[in-house]
A and B are shown apart, each in its own frame.
Chain A
Amino acid sequence: MLALGVPAISLLILSLSLRWSGGIPWAVAGLGIEYGISLHLRQGATVDPWTAVYAAALLLVAELAYWSLASPPRARLGGEVVERRMLLTIVLLGGSMVMGLLLVLVTQVSVPGSVLWTVLGVAAAVLLLASTAVLERRGGHPLLHHP
């Protein structure tokens, strides 16, 4: 596990010190994969309730990392801005944990597997990937009016 965890944390530290945002998702993905593998080795397909907490922690790491890179180093951030951003992050983390716990509960419910569910899941994932690619290529917010 160290083979995945240590490079991921090193990449995160490197990204923050070089102010390079491109390394953050790779570091977070590395940490997530590392947790997923360790969980799989320990418990197989059973979901650990602490996964929701770990997921929220991953989000916190990503949020703090992007936040630290968002403002210029010499910017004077007002206290109110920091407070508001922290509050929003806490609310988001709380929501993430609640959603994670709900998902953990859903996994406890036994639903008979079918091809329809699998196709639906794959379609949702593909749609998400496609929208990501489109967003990145357009470089603009599709929902916002461009003056």
Chain B
Amino acid sequence: MIPRVTPKLPAYAALAALGMMIGLVLGQPAAVILAAPFLLALVVGLALAQQPDFVFSIDVPRDRVMEGDDIDVEIGVTAKTAIETLEVLLVPPLGISTEPEAPVRDIRLVTDESATLHIPAHCLHWGGYQLGNIYLRAQDRLGFFRFEAHLDAGHPVRVYPRPEALRSIPRPAETQVFAGNERSREKGEGIEFIDVRGFVPGDQVRRINWRLSARRGELIVNEFHRERNADVVLLLDTFAEVRNGEDGTHLMAVRGAISLAEQYLQERNRVGVVGFGGILRWLQPAMGARQRYRIVEALIDTDIVLSYAWKGVDIIPRSTLPPKALVIAFTPLLDERAIDALLDLRARGFDLAIIEVSPVPFVTPDASETGQLAFTIWQMEREVLRYRFQCLGVPVALWEIGQSFEQVLREVQGFRRYTRQARA
């Protein structure tokens, strides 16, 4: 710990010296008597001053929690020497808040004594945090010296976002070969009726439509949609974001992606993640509970990294973007590289849907006439961009802060239904 002299020490020394000087110069013994207690306090204080020595530990019993949960931060101190007073201040990272009334705790320990401080904290936002930015300040017995230390224990705490319950999600246009809950366009084993045809040897008897067979006078069998799974890739544009305080486009995008991943995985689909930005991160499509945790971890770790390097979809590993996969992109449509990559994906025949996490509510336009004009032009350019994607058959659903994600997905579904009819 770094020792520092408090203002009390020079003040007492000065008072003692002043009394002595006045006593000597003016020949007033009373001045010396008045100064003597301060001199005594100085001597006692210097004699009792001792550098505090202790072992410090930090623990968070619940280090994997959901957004909005409370956690208890345990700070353990074992004194090797007696500590008169030890003030402990935990500075939480942005996204975690501590009790504002008492961020500082004060304890006193004798030699070899241990104490544990419990500091309640509230997880405001999802994310991976390092909890352990702690300032310690100890004082000697008479308050002449202050010993300060800054510890960065870095205890990891993962706060997972609460996925929004979704009733319906965009259905992939194409399915894969594995069994699942998605209705395939192909005929085969399933439970959803699609057509009828004449009986051929080898057909199962339970497939015979007896009523129709009786009417037509020949054996007719029912045909069904195959039930298959689909590949879904959640693509997050991490080139740029717009933030306003604790909310931002990236935070919204991650929350939406986790909600979608949760729902797709529940329906036995394979889900993968691509963080396309300054740093490329990817997770190959897979299914199951393990993949759910992998996705959440991967999404929490995605971050906006500033980069000027031009990047296209070529840098994404092929296995991450399997053929016939539904690609759902979360983007604020701010960076040219992300926009180009999305256009490229569409040109390569991927089934693409864009959820535009709108940066507009986070932007405060300049009050001047020019500023207002620039803001209007910017919004119009965004409209044009949206229209460009829609002309290519790509749904672009605008998601603004405060808007239900379910509603945004319904917009995507509505557009996809309409485009399929138009193609037909």
Give the segment of B60-68, B104-112, B160-168, B279-287 that binds chain A.
Answer: B104-112
Inter-subunit contact A141/B7 (CB<8 Å): no
Q: Cβ of B399 < 8 Å from any Cβ of A?
A: no
Give every chain B residue within 8 A of A81 (Cβ-Cβ): 84-85, 106-108
Inter-subunit contact B10/A135 (CB<8 Å): yes
Report B143 CB to chain A, min CB distance, Å: 5
Give every chain B residue within 8 A of A67 (Cβ-Cβ): 143
Using an 8 Å CB-CB cutoff, how does the interface string of A120-135 with B read, 1 for contact, 0 for none?
A: 0110110011011001
Which of B28, B40, B103 touches A95 (beta carbons < 8 Å)?
Answer: B40
Give every chain B residue within 8 A of A88 (Cβ-Cβ): 141-142
Residue of B nearest to A133 (CB): B10
Q: Cβ of B13 < 8 Å from any Cβ of A?
A: yes
Inter-subunit contact B11/A24 (CB<8 Å): yes
Inter-subunit contact A56/B37 (CB<8 Å): yes
Inter-subunit contact B34/A135 (CB<8 Å): no
Instruction: A88 to B49: give the CA distance in the assembly, Å.
Output: 13
Report A108 CB to chain B, min CB distance, Å: 10
Residue of A nearest to B85 (CB): A81
Instruction: A96 to B23: give the CA distance in the assembly, Å.
Output: 18
Using an 8 Å CB-CB cutoff, how does the interface string of A98-123 with B read, 1 for contact, 0 for none?
A: 01100110010000000000100110
Which of A47, A125, A145, A146 touches B17 (beta carbons < 8 Å)?
Answer: A125
Give every chain A residue within 8 A of B18 (Cβ-Cβ): 29
* Interface residue tally on B, bucketed by range: 35 or more
Report B90 CB to chain A, min CB distance, Å: 13
Using an 8 Å CB-CB cutoff, how does the interface string of B9-22 with A read, 1 for contact, 0 for none?
A: 11111111111111
A28-B15, A144-B51 as given contacts; A78 in contact with B106, CB under 8 Å: yes
Which of B17, B28, B87, B101 touches A132 (beta carbons < 8 Å)?
Answer: B17
Which of A28, A36, A70 touches B139 (beta carbons < 8 Å)?
Answer: A70
Using an 8 Å CB-CB cutoff, how does the interface string of A8-45 with B read, 1 for contact, 0 for none?
A: 00000000000001101100110011011001100001
Instruction: A25 to B168: give the CA distance in the assembly, Å.
Output: 73
Instruction: A23 to B64: give the CA distance in the assembly, Å.
Output: 50
Which of B10, B28, B143 touches A45 (beta carbons < 8 Å)?
Answer: B28
Give every chain B residue within 8 A of A28 (Cβ-Cβ): 15
Inter-subunit contact A132/B10 (CB<8 Å): yes
A28-B15, A96-B37, A135-B9 as given contacts; A77 in contact with B139, CB under 8 Å: no
Inter-subunit contact A32/B15 (CB<8 Å): yes
Inter-subunit contact A35/B34 (CB<8 Å): yes
Report B91 CB to chain A, min CB distance, Å: 14
Q: Cβ of B27 < 8 Å from any Cβ of A?
A: yes
Instruction: A40 to B28: give the CA distance in the assembly, Å.
Output: 8
Interface centre among A51, A67, A71, A141 (most CB of B within 10 A): A141
Instruction: A80 to B113: give the CA distance in the assembly, Å.
Output: 14
Residue of A nearest to B86 (CB): A81
Using an 8 Å CB-CB cutoff, how does the interface string of B87-107 with A read, 1 for contact, 0 for none?
A: 100000000000001111111
Inter-subunit contact B29/A47 (CB<8 Å): yes
Give every chain B residue within 8 A of A139 (Cβ-Cβ): 4-5
A74-B103, A141-B49 as given contacts; A136 in contact with B37, CB under 8 Å: no
Report A110 CB to chain B, min CB distance, Å: 12
Instruction: A58 to B364: give the CA distance in the assembly, Å.
Output: 59
Q: Cβ of B32 < 8 Å from any Cβ of A?
A: yes
Give every chain A residue within 8 A of B14 (Cβ-Cβ): 25, 129, 132
- Which 3 pairs from chain A and chain B are nearest by CB? A96-B37, A132-B13, A25-B11
By a beta-carbon cutoff of 8 Å, the part of chain B in contact with chain A is 1-24, 27-41, 44, 46, 49-51, 84-85, 87, 101-108, 139, 141-143, 145
* 14 A-B interface contacts by CB (under 8 A): A21-B8, A25-B11, A35-B30, A47-B29, A66-B6, A71-B106, A74-B104, A76-B104, A95-B44, A99-B36, A103-B29, A136-B10, A143-B49, A144-B3
By a beta-carbon cutoff of 8 Å, the part of chain A in contact with chain B is 21-22, 24-25, 28-29, 32-33, 35-36, 39-40, 45, 47-48, 51-52, 54-56, 58-59, 62-63, 66-67, 70-72, 74-78, 80-81, 84-85, 88, 92-93, 95-96, 99-100, 103-104, 107, 118, 121-122, 124-125, 128-129, 131-132, 135-136, 138-141, 143-147
* Apart from the given pairs A70-B6, A76-B104, 16 other A-B contacts in the complex at a CB distance below 8 Å: A21-B11, A25-B14, A51-B30, A54-B34, A55-B33, A55-B37, A59-B41, A72-B104, A75-B102, A78-B106, A81-B108, A88-B141, A118-B24, A125-B24, A131-B13, A132-B14
